[in-house]
Amino acid sequence: MQRTFLIDTDTASDDAVALIMALRSPDIKVAAITTVAGNVPVWQGTRNALYVAELCGSKVPVFAGAEKPLWREYLDASWFHGQDGLGDHGYAAPARAAEPAHAVDAIVECVHRHPGITFITLGPLTNIALALAKDPGIAAKVGRCVVMGGNPCSEGNVTPAAEYNIWVDPEAARMVLRAGMPTELVGWHLCRGEAALSAWDIERVRGFGSRVGRFAIESNSTAQEAYRIQTGEVGISLPDPVAMAIALDPSVCTSASEHLVDVEVAGELTRGATVVDRLGVGGDGRNRDVWKAARPVRICWTIDTARWKETLYRALRDEATS
């Protein structure tokens, strides 16, 4: 049975690979791609999304969205992904343009047209928050919301306390996590260590000889070096494709649990921290007032690394549809 996805993305190098995975999955209909300012400005992310869709032979509609966070100064991640978000390899401009409608309107319309739709969010949550503010009723119609973001009970990648997607627009993240959608948090910790592509994995993908495989490795060249500088780990870390793998195949997540989760928006040192009530103390007398708006979120703690990589390889392997 075909499932329907809406993908919200700040399209840079790892987002691009995640898009390939969805667009090349035969049992997935991608109803729309919406873009948001994050890794790169929204116009650049829109261009990149259109480029990837063309690479996959897809005419999926792409809608440009929020150009900045709800209330914060916009800060990109070009230091990690390159100025164009795709490693600065000079990829050609896409042949078509984005749709005229705004991403927020497209999200609302898409949910009403496809009740039970799955959201996959790969960037800051600004568009989703604005859509929920415009039409709060859509929360009850979303079947599943897979969020690549956060760093539950682990270190951050932009501050010691926070992961980039949540840190950029913590107010939007708080709104989305409090909306009551069936939300799954796929944190940054899941793409590290053995989950990152090793030298052997990289050569295997290159060996497929497909256009999408070559692009997946090449576009992440700047990110690969930035990841080494950031963490000391060698390889290509792919947080958005890990989230997409879990969206495509929930069994990729091997351990998960549901907890109240909220986002820190006021802390000087902890802006954007995803605070997980893992021991269930948020509802007691000492914390009830602070945690009264928090909602249960499913946290993925560990993944089947071999299964995640095979899901990736399947999308990048076949030249016939590349």
Three-state SS for the chain is: CCEEEEEEECCCHHHHHHHHHHHCCCCEEEEEEEECCCCCCHHHHHHHHHHHHHHCCCCCCEEECCCCCCCCCCCCCHHHHCCCCCCCCCCCCCCCCCCCCCHHHHHHHHHHHCCCCEEEECCCCHHHHHHHHHCHHHHHHCCEEEEECCCCCCCCCCECCECHHHHHCHHHHHHHHCCCCCEEEECHHHHCHHHCECHHHHHHHHHHCCHHHHHHHHCCHHHHHHHHHHHCCCCECCHHHHHHHHHHCHHHEEEEEEEEEEECCCCCCCCCCEEECCCCCCCCCCCHHHHCCCEEEEEEEEECHHHHHHHHHHHHHCHHHC
Q: The domain containing residue 69 runs over which residues?
A: 3-316
Interstrand relation of 295-303 and 253-263 (parallel, antiparallel or unpaired): antiparallel
**163 within domain boundaries:** yes
Residue 126 placed within a domain:
yes
Mean pLDDT (whole number) for 230-253: 97
Residue 321 lies in a domain: no
pLDDT at 285: 74
Report field, pTM of the whole predicted structure over 0.85: yes
Residue 299 lies in a domain: yes
Instruction: Say how far apart CA 229 and CA 183 lie, in whole Å.
Output: 32
Identify the burial level of 90 via C-beta atoms within 10 angstroms of its C-beta, where 0-12 means exposed, 13-18 middle and 19 or more buried: exposed
Enter the tokens of residue 37: 């300012």
| pLDDT (average), residues 189-204 | 96
Q: Say if residues 185 and 119 touch (Cβ distance below 8 Å).
A: no
Q: Per the domain annotation, does 322 fall within a domain?
A: no
Give domain status of residue 63, yes or no: yes
Confidence (pLDDT) at 13: 96
Counted domains in the chain: 1
Phi-psi domain of 21 (left: phi exceeds 0; alpha: psi -120 through 50; beta: other): alpha
The string of pLDDT tens digits covering residues 111-145 is 999 999 999 999 999 999 999 999 999 999 999 99
What integer is the mean pLDDT of 51-59?
97
How high is the mean pLDDT of the chain? 95
CATH number of domain containing 86: 3.90.245.10
Mean pLDDT value of segment 56-78: 97
